[in-house]
Structure 1
């Protein structure tokens, strides 16, 4: 029993409102990526400013537990936000929750940059506190942006539109590098400082403390600019009609958006409302039968993908230092080090990360989600082993450019692959009343993988065999072992991709089986139970 308003959305030609929705939702992801990844640009600067080995004024390094906290605490907040706001988006509506996430991001971005304290521990603790809540707001953007875009789009270009929203993440990563380059270059010109070897005491000027604060606070700007337009968006018709059961409002909203006349069809909504008692909940046998393997596929692939993806993004500066692409810290002053790290990460983003996202946008409706995800995991696996197995040769000076090229290709195929598709598919294959919740669960599984990557890779990359001396011991052997591990993880992603269905060219109702559900009342419970005992979420 199809509703005219939903059919109209499925067959609508690409219009201006599609692009407006992409920009509004996409700016949230631009901000998300900026906020999550900009911290990796300044962690070494934080070490120089606030931590000194044995009190000596030489290039400081954040202790492993502190570095893990600074890099990973926002991911912990993001995981919690994805679960909470995903659930709330199905309960209260996508639009009503959408503005809350932006407010949280604006306030916590500014507060993170204003982190103060009497000593280094207090500053870092305050920074971590606000970055947790920043991540909480960022987490809400994942299920809400994906669900809103999927419910606005037509069925023939839906994948490309959701991918375009997610592709703004690449521009966010790129913007983080550019802002860091501009800020560090300005400070470098205004407050020149000698390299550490020339004058250790003067190599970190007091003004360097402003650099990381400005970089972190800039994340509030795009979020603030987007808030007004988010509040102007109407609620999606699929939520209004299928969840809130308000056919009149759904038809009125979409008539304005699509600029066509749409019948209210309140009678159909009333019939659907009468059958709501038969609708299965998230914790029901019927959900497990229909979508259990789908949810396992979306959670497992996102979990495995993010272990690799966030490990690479958050700690690529350590990899570049290990192979000598970024000079040793004691050959530069603090501001120069930020500039070099930002330049390296910007180059990677420009040459591989951003193009990878847009390859997905252009090819997803031709190749399909399944093929792109499988291909991406395959090439990520191959390139990780190409880097890891001959690692001791790669770190030789003459091979460093080759290492960076192959390393960049892993980013390209992550984004022209599972990093995009794991975001897209959960927004398409679950029922409207559970869509935001299931996307939030899938995304939270991804952030659990990111946390494993952020904390685990940090220790693995720094690990050394304590029974041997440094003399003659290959530098960065922890990095080699980590790359091998990431290759194995990517191979696991290939296997779990087999559980993910293809969503190309189908309506959301076809994929979720909602019309079948109306035709055949659910009998999902075990013998001896009645339908009313199904747990509703």
Structure 2
């Protein structure tokens, strides 16, 4: 949708940014930044999916204490922490720097994972409160990783490969996040096979403990990385023009926030409680069988990521996202309307369930991070991305909180019917509010934003304080664009 207040791919730029040349160190740092985003976000995917089988284990170990209320609280702790992390770290990575934000989020994930692994109390209730706090700390790190890693990856990819920025971004963000699901279940199965079902206490602690190692793999590289040059050139750290940002990008904010809320409202509870759903349709309630079907479910959902990465340049970001939301409508209705019959054939149920999640990965799963990174200018990218991701995680928390009451009061089939309704709403929100930035150089959009600030009388400085190669520039209404360039 073209709009005067929102830039689109078809908008003619009033100004063009000067070409960016990178030193050898900056080129290497760009590659490392992209790779570090992938390795960092895989730990997020692992943590997001850790409770899928942990819920099944805790229900077996503590049948009287691990009620639906406790299960929801422990699962939601990560989401509440993630919302806080996404908002505050989004601001930090714009105002202080990408590197500081990345190091801080890694440290928080490690701390939270250590506390969760070592969780102990004299009563089951105390244990689950301990886990709630630990998962909340982990969530702040996990949530902060979204804007910190994703903004850095998009800017680094833009410096190296503008035309392939979308597919590269998807492979180092949503692919590894989605891969975290099968990875978490695979780790659980390996540990379960080694320890046996008589040692479930060991199983869940080892599974949580492995979550400590994953973020540590990138800690060293993040300590040595450079912030992307696009950020170092365009950072605004003082007198940040938030009101002008809202005036120019309000439609994109509504689109990214609304679509992300709907996507996480559906996908997160369906991911967290999928193990419980599958367990309920398996007649003998076997934990290993549940994990095996869960692994198949995750494997079926994964190819959607590759389809989305392939389509995002061909048919555009917005069309790919609408196509994915349409899959919720189709498969949500198929499963929901035929739930009583389809659950009697477990392989068929798992396949359709997986296809619904695969459509989610192909569309909003792939595109939301990408469009949220592309729709906003570099000085405000972390803020805009963090806000959209936080609203998304709010949707996940609401969905997780509502999941059990919906099942208990309306029936399990309604969780899928509601997913179909969210799919229709997602298509409409995407069509009317999400800009399509396919093929647009992020530096060009930055130049348009600077021109917009000049036209609206903003005065301030652009560029990082500590980058000696960059010149601080005063932006005033009387400045021409050459003086505004850094």
In 2, distance between residues paired with 1:519 and 1:41?
54
Matched ranges for 1:447-458 at <5 A? 447-458=393-404
8 Å CA contact retained: 2:55, 2:276: no
1:496 equivalent to 2:444? Answer no
Q: 1:3, CA displacement in angstroms?
A: 4.7
> Does the residue aligned with 2:434 lie in a helix, a strand or coil?
coil
Partner of 2:452: 517
Alpha-carbon contact 1:77-1:134 (below 8 Å) kept: yes
Alignment of 1:296-311 (within 5 A): 296-311=254-269
Corresponding position of 1:172: 180
Contact 2:332–2:356 (CA<8 Å) still a contact in 1? yes
Residue of structure 2 equivalent to 1:270: none
2:52 matches 1:40: yes
1:63-82 matches, within 5 Å, as 63-82=67-86
Gaps of 5+ in 1: 53-60, 194-204, 246-275, 465-476, 524-530, 533-537
Question: Cα distance 1:77–1:134, how it changes in 2: closer, same or farther (>3 A)?
Answer: same
* Number of the residue aligned with 1:327: 283
Question: Cα distance, 1:517 vs. partner?
Answer: 2.1
Matches within 5 A, 1:56-455: 62-154=66-158, 155-166=162-173, 167-188=175-196, 205=198, 207-243=199-235, 281-282=241-242, 284=243, 286-322=244-280, 324=281, 326-329=282-285, 332=286, 337=287, 339-352=288-301, 354-395=302-343, 397=344, 399-455=345-401
**For each residue in 1:129-148, what CA deviation from the matched residue of structure 2 results, as whole angstroms up to 9, or x when unmatched?**
11000000001100011110
Q: 1:319 to 1:50 in 2, by over 3 A?
A: closer
Q: Work out the CA distance in 2 between the residues paired with 1:291 and 1:510.
A: 16
Q: In 1, are the aligned partners of 2:182 and 2:299 still within 8 Å (CA)? A: yes
Give the TM-score taking structure 2 as reference length. Answer: 0.85
Q: Is the 8 A contact 1:105 1:223 kept in 2?
A: yes
1:488: Cα distance to partner?
0.7
For residues 101 and 276 of structure 2, the distance between their equivalents in structure 1, rounded to whole angstroms, comes to: 38
Question: 1:51: how far off?
Answer: 3.7
The answer to whether the Cα contact below 8 Å between 1:38 and 1:216 also exists between their aligned partners in 2 is yes
In the TM superposition, residue 515 of structure 1 has moved relative to its aligned partner by 4.2
Q: Is the 8 A contact 2:34 2:152 kept in 1?
A: no
Whole-angstrom CA distance in 2 between matches of 1:295 and 1:244 = 19
Contact 1:2 1:515 in 2 (8 A): no
* Contact preservation (8 Å) 2:278, 2:294: no
Match of 1:474 in 2: none
CA drift at 1:310: 0.6
Structure 1 residue 21 displacement after superposition: 3.0
* Correspondence for 2:470: none
Q: Equivalents in 1 of 2:34, 2:311: separation in Å?
A: 17
Q: For residues 402 and 210 of structure 1, what CA distance do their matches in structure 2 show?
A: 33
Deviation at 1:170, TM superposition (A): 2.0
- Structure 1 residue 230, shift from structure 2 partner: 1.4
Corresponding residue SS for 1:502? coil
Give 1:287 shift.
2.9
The structural deviation recorded for 1:35 is 0.8
Contact 1:373/1:417, CA 8 A, preserved across alignment: yes
In the alignment, the residues of structure 1 paired with residue 200 and residue 214 of structure 2 have an alpha-carbon distance, to the nearest angstrom, of: 24
CA contact (8 A) 2:195 2:202 kept: no
SS in 2 for 1:416: helix
* Structure label with greater radius of gyration: 1
Shift of 1:380: 1.4
8 Å CA contact retained: 1:377, 1:413: yes
Is 1:484 the equivalent of 2:417? yes
Post-superposition offset of 1:328: 3.5
Q: CA deviation at 1:67?
A: 0.8
SS of residue in 2 equivalent to 1:373: helix
Query: Is the 1:243–1:433 contact (alpha carbons within 8 Å) kept by the matching residues of 2?
Result: yes
| Alignment length (residue pairs) | 438
Q: Aligned residue for 1:26?
A: 38
Question: Residue 38 of structure 1: SS of its match in structure 2?
Answer: helix
Normalising by structure 1, we get a TM-score of 0.77
